[in-house]
Amino acid sequence: MYKSFSMELAGRTLTVDIGRVAAQANGAAFMHYGDTVVLSTATASEKPREGIDFFPLSVEYEEKMYAVGKIPGGFNKREGKASENAVLTDRVIDRPMRPLFPKDYRNDVTLDNLVMSVDPDCSPELTAMLGSALAASISDIPFDGPCATTQVGLVNGEFVFNPTAAQKAESQMQLTVASTREKVIMIEAGANEVPEQQMIDAIFAAHEVNQTIIAFFDKIVAECGKEKHEYEHFTIPDELFAAIQELVPPAQMEEAVFTDEKQVREANIREIKDKLEEAFAEKEDWLPLIDDAVYQYQKKTVRKMILKDHKRPDGRAVDQIRPLAAETDILPRVHGSAMFTRGQTQIMTVTTLAPLSEAQKIDGLDEAVTSKRYMHHYNFPSYSVGETKPSRGPGRREIGHGALAERALVPVLPTEQEFPYAIRTVSETMESNGSTSQASVCASSMSLMAAGVPIKKPVAGISCGLVTGETDDDYLVLTDIQGLEDFFGDMDFKVAGTRDGITAIQMDIKIHGLTRPIIEEAIARTRKARLYILDEVMGPVISEPRPTVGQYAPKIIQMQIDPAKIGDVVGQRGKTINTIIERTGVKIDINDDGFVSICGVEQESMDKAADMIRIITTDFEAGQVFTGTVVSIKEFGAFIEFAPGKEGMVHISKIARERINRVEDVLTLGDVVKVVCLGKDKMGRISFSMKDVK
């Protein structure tokens, strides 16, 4: 039966149609926010997937170009692989929802979001986040929802909820917060050095808005929700766990995991597994469960050590950062390079500079964003964790980590007018044992400065973890978590920023949300660690951008011309500008405001191109002296090209001081001569004189 529900959300109407479309999905919500329309569905397989020890959740965000009245480019004329924005949206939907499904649920679940119409003032990403939560909540799939999501902007010092396109353009912050009824379950932010307390206030302002959405969803679930289906539970039998503890006492497991060397710990665990497999060789029903049982035993041991004994696996104090190191100029021929090492996590970032024409073009649903001049790419090869597998290109994790570091650094980048370059940083993971994304922020900040990019301030990033007990008050926040603490802990809270404020946040958790005291402590811890990294580690290596770009980086001359004369520089079908490029070997970018960037390697060629553009855009006056080339000879005189596409005539009487009978007696094609401008003749052509040059 078709039912429709509506509420006012941040000054616009949110309407949900249930039963109107996609009736065969386990749950479907046809979402309308303003004129944005997204179909969100939740489906699950009838039986669990065999041979896995994790919850197989897939999240899809499908951008259809018809939603903004476009036909896709290319030969195929249909949508191809997911855009970067779609991948990032998949991840931001996944993160708050995954913890709300049962930990031992093994049925395949897909949350699919089809963007069918886009209103620029009503975010399709936000609409999909709300739709996925509602579709799962009304379905028969086990899900401890609903949850809700709100976006927050900061305009003129005031918080704006679910900002419009115009408000986003002015906003000093782009914050996304997901909540359950009681707690915050996901945070993602990009910000222009927003102070910590203001960020905390924004998070909990969004949390309050989320409660109104959850109340609206509760009404829909009450009227349209299905009864949750039973499922096959996957738990470790008590008798198996008891047998394992008898063979491997807790003290032995503590000894196995209590080391700061990842390889040593893995070897210790491998020995334990071998011992158990040998002991249980006759118990065929137990053998397939050993890996999961040992994982659970490790988790229980690590959590107990941290929470009760305040002992971390590598022996650090709860607020202590692993050993740090930083260096620059690792690679000799690149434009900028730096390496940042934190324990067994090591990132090398390489910076490349190019003309603005090399900026990335974006063809997506957001018509306000058509290109970006700063690109951060992150790579995570298998050797960084001592494994072997073929490279298949960047996955969702790599794209997400790259976007997080990019978001952290954008607020400190110079404007195009200050630094007219396209900039690419590539973070290569040399070694990984926790929080490589934040190490890449540190390495990238140093690499940009080493390349001579005049960033406003250095940026550093750090991650905090969490281990919780039975009550909200029983918890321990850990500074700088390593891989083991991430795997077995409850939170990965990444914060990047400058000395003056936050530029990016990403929070992943495995529990049903965080209280305000936990969030406040995590943000305070990351600030303290960030300042230490900036002052004690990065600062002594490189504290400010180098005054010029490096030897092998392209050089750029900037000049401003009258926008009305852009057509003169470009010429018919680009003939003039292409001639300048061919003659000088430079690259030239001109924007609509008449801002010209000339990029080259040799200063002489760049100066020559600048002179040509200056001549083309100058209003010609009598007395100006030019150097030109003879391009045509007539009986009455010669035509001199003094700039690409610009010619003037020297009458035969103005070629030499003495009388000549033929132009060819003095000039030949290709001669380079100096001429003085006499003004324009009756036909509007520029007249030159050679004999009057002083």
Strands 475-479 and 460-468: antiparallel
Backbone torsion region of residue 178, taken as left when φ is above 0, otherwise alpha when ψ lies between -120 and 50, otherwise beta: beta
Q: What integer pLDDT is reported at residue 363 of this predicted model?
A: 77
Which residues make beta-bridge pairs with 633? 638
Tell me the per-residue pLDDT of 454-472, one tens digit each, with 9 for 90 and over: 999 999 999 999 999 988 8
Q: Which domain holds residue 524?
A: 324-466+515-541
Q: What integer pLDDT is reported at residue 61 of this predicted model?
A: 97
φ/ψ of 618, rounded to 5, equals -90, 135
Instruction: List, edge to edge, every strand of the sheet that includes 555-560.
Output: 555-560, 595-600, 587-590
Work out the pLDDT band at 451, boundaries 50, 70, 90: very high
The CATH number for 658's domain is 2.40.50.140
Which of 323, 353, 352, 315 has its CA nearest to residue 340?
Answer: 323
Q: What integer pLDDT is reported at residue 483 of this predicted model?
A: 87
φ/ψ of 660, rounded to 5, equals -125, 150
Q: What integer pLDDT is reported at residue 661 of this predicted model?
A: 87
Q: What integer pLDDT is reported at residue 442 of this predicted model?
A: 98
Flag whether pLDDT at 228 surpasses 90: yes
R_g (Cα) of the chain, nearest Å: 32
- The answer to whether position 496 is within a domain reads no
- Quickly count: other Cβ atoms within 10 Å of residue 242's Cβ: 9
Work out the pLDDT band at 478, boundaries 50, 70, 90: very high
Tell me the per-residue pLDDT of 241-273, one tens digit each, with 9 for 90 and over: 889 998 999 889 988 988 878 888 889 999 999
Which of 25, 28, 26 has its CA nearest to residue 16?
Answer: 28
Average pLDDT in the 629-644 region? 88
- The answer to whether position 491 is within a domain reads no
φ/ψ of 67, rounded to 5, equals -65, -25
Give the whole-angstrom CA distance, residue 188 versus residue 547.
Answer: 34
- The answer to whether position 154 is within a domain reads no
Work out the pLDDT band at 75, boundaries 50, 70, 90: confident
What 3 state SS string does 69-118 have? CCCCCCCCCCCCCCCHHHHHHHHHHHHHHHHHCCCCCCEEEEEEEEEEEC
Tell me the per-residue pLDDT of 329-385, one tens digit each, with 9 for 90 and over: 999 999 999 999 999 999 999 999 998 888 898 877 877 777 899 999 999 999 998
Give the whole-angstrom CA distance, residue 112 versus residue 131.
Answer: 9
Average pLDDT in the 636-657 region? 87
Flag whether pLDDT at 74 surpasses 80: no
- The answer to whether position 480 is within a domain reads no
Residue type, 129: M
- The answer to whether position 109 is within a domain reads yes
Give the whole-angstrom CA distance, residue 468 versus residue 518.
Answer: 10
Flag whether pLDDT at 204 surpasses 80: yes
Share of the chain above pLDDT 70, in %: 100
- The answer to whether position 167 is within a domain reads no
Is residue 341 domain-shared with residue 375, that is, in the same domain?
A: yes
Q: What integer pLDDT is reported at residue 524 of this predicted model?
A: 96
Share of the chain above pLDDT 90, in %: 62
Give the whole-angstrom CA distance, residue 508 versus residue 91.
Answer: 10
Instruction: State the DSSP string of 240-266.
Output: HHHHHHHHS-HHHHHHHH--S-HHHHH
Is residue 88 domain-shared with residue 208, that is, in the same domain?
A: yes
Across the chain, mean pLDDT equals: 92
Average pLDDT in the 215-229 region? 97
Residue type, 631: V
Q: Which residue did the predictor score with more confidence, 586 or 285?
A: 586
Is residue 26 domain-shared with residue 127, that is, in the same domain?
A: yes
- The answer to whether position 9 is within a domain reads yes
Tell me the per-residue pLDDT of 431-450, one tens digit each, with 9 for 90 and over: 999 889 999 999 999 999 99
Is residue 650 domain-shared with residue 606, that is, in the same domain?
A: no
Structural domain count of the chain? 5
Flag whether pLDDT at 277 surpasses 90: no
Flag whether pLDDT at 690 surpasses 80: yes
Q: What integer pLDDT is reported at residue 648 of this predicted model?
A: 87
Work out the pLDDT band at 84, boundaries 50, 70, 90: very high
Work out the pLDDT band at 397, boundaries 50, 70, 90: very high
Question: Measured on CA atoms in the order 432, 434, 438, 443, is the torsion positive or negative?
Answer: negative
Q: What integer pLDDT is reported at residue 115 of this predicted model?
A: 97
**For residues 367-398, b (16+ Cβ closer than 10 Å) or e, as one string?**
eeeeeebbbbbbbbeeebbeeeeeeeebeeeb
Give the whole-angstrom CA distance, residue 172 versus residue 194.
Answer: 8
55-69, 114-128, 187-201, 596-610: lowest mean pLDDT where?
596-610
Strands 107-117 and 158-161: unpaired
DSSP strands (E only) in 593-636: 595-600, 625-634
**Any idea which residue has 């003037």 for tokens?**
648
Give the whole-angstrom CA distance, residue 373 versus residue 355.
Answer: 9
Q: What is the pTM of this model?
A: 0.88
Is residue 11 domain-shared with residue 83, that is, in the same domain?
A: yes
φ/ψ of 114, rounded to 5, equals -105, 110
Is residue 130 domain-shared with residue 268, that is, in the same domain?
A: no
Which residues make beta-bridge pairs with 40? 29, 113
- The answer to whether position 165 is within a domain reads no
Secondary structure (3-state) at 393: coil
HSE-up (13 A, CA, CB side) for residue 325: 10
Cis peptide leading into residue 124 (ω within 30°): no
Which residues lie below 8 Å from residue 218, measured CB to CB, with a gap of 6+? Answer: 146
Is residue 452 domain-shared with residue 535, that is, in the same domain?
A: yes
Q: Which residue pairs from 1-10 have beta carbons closer than 8 angstroms and sit at least 24 positions apart in sequence?
A: 3/223, 3/224, 5/216, 5/219, 5/220, 7/212, 7/213, 7/216, 9/33, 9/162, 9/212, 9/213, 10/150, 10/161, 10/162, 10/209
Q: What integer pLDDT is reported at residue 64 of this predicted model?
A: 94
Tallying the residues shown for the chain, one arrives at: 694
Flag whether pLDDT at 38 surpasses 90: yes
Contact 416, 455 (CB under 8 A): no
The CATH number for 244's domain is 1.10.10
Q: What integer pLDDT is reported at residue 530 of this predicted model?
A: 97
Is residue 519 domain-shared with residue 425, that is, in the same domain?
A: yes
Flag whether pLDDT at 179 surpasses 90: yes
Q: Which residue did the predictor score with more confidence, 626 or 495?
A: 495
Work out the pLDDT band at 601, boundaries 50, 70, 90: confident
Is residue 428 domain-shared with residue 291, that is, in the same domain?
A: no
Is residue 402 domain-shared with residue 535, that is, in the same domain?
A: yes
Average pLDDT in the 90-109 region? 96
Cis peptide leading into residue 146 (ω within 30°): yes
φ/ψ of 317, rounded to 5, equals -70, 160
Q: What integer pLDDT is reported at residue 487 of this predicted model?
A: 86
The CATH number for 77's domain is 3.30.230.70
Is residue 250 domain-shared with residue 138, that is, in the same domain?
A: no
Flag whether pLDDT at 1 surpasses 80: no
Tell me the per-residue pLDDT of 657-669, one tens digit each, with 9 for 90 and over: 888 888 888 898 9
The CATH number for 568's domain is 3.30.1370.10
Structure tokens at 283: 């118990």
Is residue 537 domain-shared with residue 568, that is, in the same domain?
A: no
